[in-house]
A and B are shown apart, each in its own frame.
Chain A
């Protein structure tokens, strides 16, 4: 597309308006304005029947509530769950991506499609499937009892590990894809050179492959961590009332308790973590970029 500055004749301004105008206006009204509203709510109190009590004036008490151990626990718990999920996704995802990259050409596409395919089924139903598997009369327990390994059913459902499992199941493909992309891009000549210099396969992996794929690792971690952190469906369906994450809190504040200001503060906290994470990724990406 012509990118030069001035051109002879032609109503440039009109073209710019027609092209950029609709999309940017749409985003301004339906993205920026809503975000601005949320930020604005944080300094007001909720009204008696929900809504905002603007007449009370601004206050910082919504921010103070976060430090309440009840809510602080939920925040740290959410970070913990998201982190564990990401770690597990990495531990399972990296060898998987590596294995796919070692397959012969045609099979690679098939293998990738098979990894991604479950991702295209409905998220809720996939989560529901784990209820079937993990409940006290579910498939896992029935199998274990049937094989005589246990007497009484294990409490698998409505626990924190169940939530981690559900999140891992939901977002594993998002870890595998960028990892595969990064592994596949490592120049095979580097690997040959390493082998040529006498390194065994394991050594080549640690010294050559892994460092070169670190940007992909970071991308995959961000892709898993972010949606895990803000999720409320999985903690609700698989965690019961016991495991509450930030997403559940936000949903409750907006739909049940109708305390929008506090809900907005929680959302802001979520966004703050997100921004920190992205900045960390960018910083790490720049440091590794020298390779």
Chain B
């Protein structure tokens, strides 16, 4: 439905978007994920109409979108700051967009009432923004955008301003809402947990370039490139040479469990796949525990290994059975080591 092709945007010496191409399907919940400065917000603003790219095309339903000014695009944006009009109450805020379409008052009233019910704010209709809580304000911002029935709803870091508790609730809300109204959602976020839990598909961006586009599961299980491997979920990345008999030969460390292969490459092993070895024969790495973080349901243990510049992380259920400083041995199954594909421009 949306076709973004080779979009580039530079600000002075900084290249915010570098030949970005994406396709977004109708009815999808799509996420743009990346660290700050990766260009995701710029791309969002290009779609909304507040930035014009230096080159490239964007088409919506097959028709050029860039030539259409922001106020006429069938695209609506939910701002990170919500941008609710302070001098209008909730109802008028929501009705604002409909009034611009020249609809009859009766119809506006009906649609506003309906969307208020959808987001659960019927009782707050006459309140002003400063009288609402953060979560309520966000729902008003959402309602204001949805009521216009756009082809695409853009959301700029929708959950970043909320407390952890409210955030969890809003995540469910957003997914439910998206299914209910059937609009294509495009979320921009730097929080990979948020992206993973909300989206049907995720595009990971770094420094203006698309690194990988996949479903959350595929993104996690088969990351492409060192950046994605390290950004989406915690990961242990080893660099070495794959052996035809199986295993990754890491200079200065030894042969680590890995699938068979022939080339030099990167291999990623997720912390939950690593375990404390039962005996020496089982072990692939030996080192000392340097940090333990307890999360209630699980613990993350960091182990320094001679020859590696970063500690290896492993996750165990419940509290850790070892203490800081203890000497431990680690191992994992060869199939748990995932070869990280590298293509031309993903280092």
- What are the residues of chain B within 8 A of A10 when measuring CB–CB? 69-70
Would you list which residues of chain A between 7 and 43 have a CB under 8 Å from chain B? 7-10
For window 129-148 of chain B, which residues contact chain A by CB distance below 8 Å?
none
User: B34 — which chain A residues lie within 8 A by C-beta?
Assistant: none
Tell whether, in the assembled complex, residue B49 and residue A8 are in contact, meaning their CB atoms are under 8 Å apart. yes
The docked-state distance in angstroms from the alpha carbon of A93 to that of B69 is 57
Within 8 A of A (CB), among B65-112: 66-70
Interface assignment of B295: CB less than 8 Å from any CB of chain A: no
A1 interface contact, C-beta 8 A: no
B51 proximity list for chain A (CB < 8 A):
4, 6-8
Q: Please report the total number of B residues contacting A with Cβ < 8 Å.
A: 12
Compute how far the CA of A9 lies from the CA of B52 in the bound complex, rounded to whole angstroms: 8
Would you call A8 and B70 a contact (CB within 8 A)?
yes
* Interface members, chain A 87-119 (any B CB < 8 Å): none
| B interface residues with partner A (beta carbon < 8 Å) | 11, 45-46, 49-52, 66-70
What would be 26 A-B contacts, judged by CB atoms less than 8 Å apart? A2-B50, A4-B45, A4-B50, A4-B51, A6-B51, A6-B52, A7-B49, A7-B50, A7-B52, A7-B70, A8-B46, A8-B49, A8-B50, A8-B51, A8-B52, A8-B66, A8-B67, A8-B68, A8-B69, A8-B70, A9-B49, A9-B67, A9-B69, A9-B70, A10-B69, A10-B70
- Shortest C-beta distance, A1 to chain B (Å), equals 12
Q: Which residues of A contact B70 (CB under 8 A)?
A: 7-10
A5 within 8 A of partner (CB): yes
Q: Once bound together, how far apart are the Cα atoms of A256 and B139, in whole Å?
A: 71
Docked Cα-Cα span, A7 to B42, in Å, equals 12
Cβ-closest 8 pairs across A and B: A9-B69, A8-B52, A8-B49, A6-B52, A10-B69, A7-B50, A8-B66, A8-B69
Instruction: Specify the chain B residue showing the minimal Cβ separation from A11.
Output: B69
Residues of chain B within 8 A of A5, CB atoms compared: 11
Given contacts A6-B52, A7-B70, A9-B49, 5 further A-B contacts (CB under 8 A): A5-B11, A8-B46, A8-B51, A8-B67, A9-B67
Query: Which B residues are in CB contact (< 8 Å) with A9?
Result: 49, 52, 67-70
Query: In the complex, what's the smallest C-beta–C-beta distance from B40 to chain A, in angstroms?
Result: 16
Chain B, residue nearest A6 (CB): B52
